[in-house]
Amino acid sequence: FAIFIAGLSDLLACALSMASGEYASVSSQTDSEKVVVAKEQQLLNDDFAGQKRIVTNFYVDRGVLQHTAEKIADELLTKKPLETVLSVKYDFTLGHYMNPWSAAWSSLFSAAIGGIFPLAALVFVTGHYQFVATIGATVVAVGLTGFLSAKISNGLIKRAIIRNIIIGLVTVAIHFGIGKLF
Protein backbone atom coordinates (compact mmCIF):
# COMPACT_ATOMS: atom_id res chain seq x y z
CA PHE A 1 0.00 0.00 0.00
CA ALA A 2 2.88 2.38 0.81
CA ILE A 3 4.43 1.71 -2.64
CA PHE A 4 1.05 2.37 -4.27
CA ILE A 5 0.56 5.68 -2.43
CA ALA A 6 4.14 6.79 -3.17
CA GLY A 7 3.78 5.75 -6.82
CA LEU A 8 0.42 7.47 -7.20
CA SER A 9 1.81 10.64 -5.60
CA ASP A 10 4.78 10.54 -7.97
CA LEU A 11 2.51 9.95 -10.96
CA LEU A 12 0.27 12.90 -10.08
CA ALA A 13 3.18 15.19 -9.27
CA CYS A 14 4.92 14.27 -12.51
CA ALA A 15 1.80 14.71 -14.65
CA LEU A 16 0.93 18.07 -13.08
CA SER A 17 4.54 19.25 -13.30
CA MET A 18 4.73 18.27 -16.97
CA ALA A 19 1.45 20.01 -17.72
CA SER A 20 2.39 23.23 -15.96
CA GLY A 21 5.83 23.27 -17.59
CA GLU A 22 4.32 22.72 -21.02
CA TYR A 23 1.78 25.48 -20.42
CA ALA A 24 4.52 27.94 -19.42
CA SER A 25 6.75 26.94 -22.34
CA VAL A 26 4.06 27.17 -25.01
CA SER A 27 2.73 30.43 -23.55
CA SER A 28 6.24 31.91 -23.84
CA GLN A 29 6.60 30.64 -27.39
CA THR A 30 3.23 32.11 -28.38
CA ASP A 31 4.13 35.44 -26.76
CA SER A 32 7.44 35.47 -28.66
CA GLU A 33 5.69 34.74 -31.95
CA LYS A 34 3.25 37.61 -31.34
CA VAL A 35 6.18 39.98 -30.69
CA VAL A 36 7.79 38.85 -33.97
CA VAL A 37 4.52 39.48 -35.83
CA ALA A 38 4.32 43.03 -34.47
CA LYS A 39 8.00 43.65 -35.29
CA GLU A 40 7.60 42.38 -38.87
CA GLN A 41 4.45 44.46 -39.38
CA GLN A 42 6.41 47.51 -38.27
CA LEU A 43 9.27 46.62 -40.64
CA LEU A 44 6.80 46.30 -43.51
CA ASN A 45 5.52 49.79 -42.71
CA ASP A 46 8.99 51.35 -42.22
CA ASP A 47 11.17 49.43 -44.71
CA PHE A 48 9.04 47.73 -47.35
CA ALA A 49 11.92 47.70 -49.85
CA GLY A 50 14.15 45.88 -47.36
CA GLN A 51 11.46 43.29 -46.72
CA LYS A 52 10.97 42.83 -50.47
CA ARG A 53 14.73 42.30 -50.84
CA ILE A 54 14.62 39.58 -48.16
CA VAL A 55 11.72 37.79 -49.88
CA THR A 56 13.40 38.09 -53.28
CA ASN A 57 16.68 36.71 -51.91
CA PHE A 58 14.80 33.84 -50.31
CA TYR A 59 13.67 32.66 -53.74
CA VAL A 60 17.00 33.42 -55.45
CA ASP A 61 18.74 31.28 -52.81
CA ARG A 62 16.45 28.43 -53.82
CA GLY A 63 17.44 28.62 -57.48
CA VAL A 64 14.87 31.03 -58.92
CA LEU A 65 16.19 33.63 -61.37
CA GLN A 66 16.49 37.18 -59.99
CA HIS A 67 13.78 38.73 -62.19
CA THR A 68 11.41 35.82 -61.52
CA ALA A 69 12.10 36.05 -57.78
CA GLU A 70 11.29 39.76 -57.87
CA LYS A 71 7.97 39.05 -59.59
CA ILE A 72 7.15 36.37 -57.01
CA ALA A 73 8.04 38.76 -54.19
CA ASP A 74 5.92 41.53 -55.73
CA GLU A 75 2.91 39.28 -56.10
CA LEU A 76 3.16 37.72 -52.65
CA LEU A 77 3.81 41.02 -50.90
CA THR A 78 0.87 42.62 -52.71
CA LYS A 79 -1.57 39.88 -51.66
CA LYS A 80 -0.33 38.86 -48.21
CA PRO A 81 2.67 40.89 -47.10
CA LEU A 82 2.83 39.93 -43.42
CA GLU A 83 2.09 36.27 -44.06
CA THR A 84 4.80 36.16 -46.74
CA VAL A 85 7.48 37.74 -44.56
CA LEU A 86 6.67 35.48 -41.61
CA SER A 87 6.79 32.40 -43.82
CA VAL A 88 10.06 33.37 -45.48
CA LYS A 89 11.91 34.62 -42.41
CA TYR A 90 10.55 32.39 -39.63
CA ASP A 91 8.75 29.51 -41.32
CA PHE A 92 5.53 30.00 -39.42
CA THR A 93 2.00 30.90 -40.39
CA LEU A 94 0.24 34.00 -39.12
CA GLY A 95 -2.45 33.14 -36.59
CA HIS A 96 -1.33 29.53 -36.12
CA TYR A 97 -0.19 29.91 -32.56
CA MET A 98 0.07 26.87 -30.35
CA ASN A 99 -2.56 26.67 -27.64
CA PRO A 100 -0.91 26.43 -24.21
CA TRP A 101 -3.96 24.69 -22.72
CA SER A 102 -3.95 22.00 -25.43
CA ALA A 103 -0.25 21.44 -24.89
CA ALA A 104 -0.75 21.23 -21.11
CA TRP A 105 -3.57 18.69 -21.38
CA SER A 106 -1.59 16.63 -23.88
CA SER A 107 1.42 16.62 -21.58
CA LEU A 108 -0.71 15.75 -18.55
CA PHE A 109 -2.31 12.82 -20.41
CA SER A 110 1.04 11.55 -21.75
CA ALA A 111 2.70 11.72 -18.34
CA ALA A 112 -0.24 9.91 -16.75
CA ILE A 113 -0.07 7.13 -19.37
CA GLY A 114 3.68 6.94 -18.86
CA GLY A 115 3.22 6.48 -15.11
CA ILE A 116 0.14 4.28 -14.85
CA PHE A 117 1.70 1.18 -16.43
CA PRO A 118 4.75 1.03 -14.12
CA LEU A 119 2.52 1.82 -11.12
CA ALA A 120 0.21 -1.06 -12.06
CA ALA A 121 3.21 -3.37 -12.38
CA LEU A 122 4.45 -2.36 -8.94
CA VAL A 123 1.03 -2.97 -7.40
CA PHE A 124 -0.01 -6.16 -9.16
CA VAL A 125 3.29 -8.02 -9.58
CA THR A 126 5.00 -9.19 -6.44
CA GLY A 127 8.16 -11.01 -5.61
CA HIS A 128 11.20 -11.55 -7.79
CA TYR A 129 9.50 -10.37 -10.98
CA GLN A 130 8.32 -7.00 -9.70
CA PHE A 131 11.46 -5.14 -10.77
CA VAL A 132 11.51 -6.68 -14.28
CA ALA A 133 7.75 -6.18 -14.70
CA THR A 134 8.07 -2.53 -13.72
CA ILE A 135 10.84 -1.93 -16.23
CA GLY A 136 8.86 -3.81 -18.88
CA ALA A 137 5.77 -1.74 -18.11
CA THR A 138 7.85 1.42 -18.39
CA VAL A 139 9.11 0.33 -21.82
CA VAL A 140 5.53 -0.35 -22.95
CA ALA A 141 4.28 2.99 -21.56
CA VAL A 142 6.99 5.15 -23.10
CA GLY A 143 6.81 3.20 -26.35
CA LEU A 144 3.06 3.83 -26.45
CA THR A 145 3.46 7.56 -25.79
CA GLY A 146 6.14 7.74 -28.50
CA PHE A 147 3.85 5.96 -30.93
CA LEU A 148 0.87 8.19 -30.13
CA SER A 149 2.82 11.44 -30.32
CA ALA A 150 4.38 10.49 -33.67
CA LYS A 151 1.06 9.27 -35.05
CA ILE A 152 -0.80 12.43 -34.00
CA SER A 153 1.90 14.76 -35.35
CA ASN A 154 2.65 12.71 -38.50
CA GLY A 155 6.18 12.16 -37.21
CA LEU A 156 8.60 9.30 -37.56
CA ILE A 157 6.97 6.53 -35.53
CA LYS A 158 9.91 4.14 -35.20
CA ARG A 159 12.29 6.95 -34.21
CA ALA A 160 9.83 8.34 -31.63
CA ILE A 161 9.31 4.92 -30.04
CA ILE A 162 13.04 4.17 -29.85
CA ARG A 163 13.84 7.65 -28.52
CA ASN A 164 11.17 7.38 -25.81
CA ILE A 165 12.30 3.90 -24.77
CA ILE A 166 15.93 5.00 -24.47
CA ILE A 167 14.97 8.10 -22.48
CA GLY A 168 12.63 6.01 -20.32
CA LEU A 169 15.33 3.45 -19.52
CA VAL A 170 17.86 6.18 -18.71
CA THR A 171 15.28 7.76 -16.41
CA VAL A 172 14.66 4.39 -14.70
CA ALA A 173 18.41 4.00 -14.18
CA ILE A 174 18.69 7.48 -12.68
CA HIS A 175 15.73 6.88 -10.34
CA PHE A 176 17.11 3.49 -9.36
CA GLY A 177 20.55 4.99 -8.70
CA ILE A 178 19.15 7.79 -6.55
CA GLY A 179 17.01 5.26 -4.70
CA LYS A 180 20.08 3.13 -3.96
CA LEU A 181 21.79 6.16 -2.39
CA PHE A 182 19.06 6.38 0.22
List the chain pLDDT tens, one digit each, 182 residues.
787 888 888 889 988 998 999 899 989 988 988 999 999 999 999 999 999 999 999 999 999 999 999 999 999 999 999 999 999 999 888 877 788 888 888 888 888 888 899 899 988 998 899 989 999 999 999 999 899 888 887 889 999 999 999 999 998 899 889 989 88
- Determine the structural domain holding residue 176 and report its residue range: 99-181
Residue 42 and residue 91 in one domain: yes
> Is there a single domain that holds both residue 5 and residue 82?
yes
pTM of the model: 0.64
Q: Which of 65, 98, 131 is the last residue of a domain?
A: 98
153 in the same domain as 120? yes
Q: What is the pLDDT of residue 175?
A: 86
Last residue of a domain, one of 98, 120, 136: 98
Instruction: Please list the alpha-helical segments (H only) found in 47-156.
Output: 48-60, 66-79, 81-90, 100-124, 130-152
Using CA atoms, how far residue 95 sits from 33, 83, 86, 139, in Å, is 10, 9, 11, 38
Boundary (domain end) residue, out of 76, 98, 120: 98
Number of domains in the chain: 2
